[in-house]
Amino acid sequence: MLGSFNKFFPRTLSRQRCRKTRRENYAADKISSRWNRFRVTLEMRGDNDGIFIKLLGALVTSMRRFMFRVISVGPIPNHIAFIMDGNRRYAKKNKLEQWSGHNAGFLALMSLLRYCYELGLKYVTVYAFSIDNFKRRPEEVQQLMDLMLEKIEGLLKEESIVNQYGVRVYFIGNLNLLHEPVRIAAEKAMLATAKNTKTVLLICVAYTSTDEITHSAQESCVKKWDRTANSDYNGEISEQKEEKRIIKLVDLDKHMYMGVAPDPDILIRSSGETRLSNFLLWQSSNCVLYSPRALWPEIGLWHVMWAVLNFQRNHSYVEKKVKQL
């Protein structure tokens, strides 16, 4: 009898946790959806002077900062990564053109960056464009490249979020695969923000984790070969010299595209998908995963808050696991 109870109890506990997670996701989605509808309604009222909207905006900002102070009593993540999934479905759902869905996704990203930096995060990583995305229709790829070029140039404007929060921008991935104007703009943005030290934004473009790991392994081999080739071995073979040729974990870490940032504490994927889709496979072994049902343009403040609260709830367990490594 006791044995059957022990078999049943973990399964029951797992089901209860799943139901609790679904309820939490539903609550966050509902709050965010209601706020978005309320905001759109206010805009459609056509307040000529916009006084009411400005006052409401100031009130919401004050409330948000108050909530951030409360939540900051607990441990705050250092690094959040986002898989921005659902732009095309959002456009289809709202009967919009595909480029409108991607544009709405960019606006959602700007809001989330503001929330993250106000909360005190140092690093934010976004999965903007996978190498696999090049397999889409050529006209859609071109639209995405044009949009990317426009938004990269917008990041350098004086009033942009990059200058407001002192953000250093990195473009992560095989940048040689990008269209030349986009690659040049990305390099220009990285150079222009190189002296910013307050916060960091890592934009993964032309990126997959398998490509990153392959690149790191190749670079590690080249470095080791160059180092041993330049040494004077005098035809001798010894264990110490052979040891210098071995590729170690630290060598791979050093040559990862993401080597400029610590591993993420939280990874959020929108639209309810639980796949990592070849994103940060090397770096996400100990991070908290969160998959709200909202499509990417629908992601808002409450989803970030929920993810941070979930991180705080699991923080002691994750820290214990990291220390065991």
Active site residues: 85
DSSP-based helix, strand, coil % in the chain, nearest 5: 60, 10, 30
Question: Using CA atoms, how far apart are residues 273 and 267, in angstroms rounded to an integer?
Answer: 12
Residue 182 in contact with residue 148, Cβ under 8 Å?
yes
All residues at 6 or more sequence positions from 24 whose CB lies less than 8 Å from its CB, including other chains: 306, 310
Q: Which of 168, 150, 261, 142 is nearest to 212 (CA)?
A: 261
* Residues sharing a CB contact under 8 Å with residue 89, sequence separation 6 or more, in sequence order: 101, 271, 295
The answer to whether the beta carbons of residues 124 and 82 sit under 8 Å apart is yes
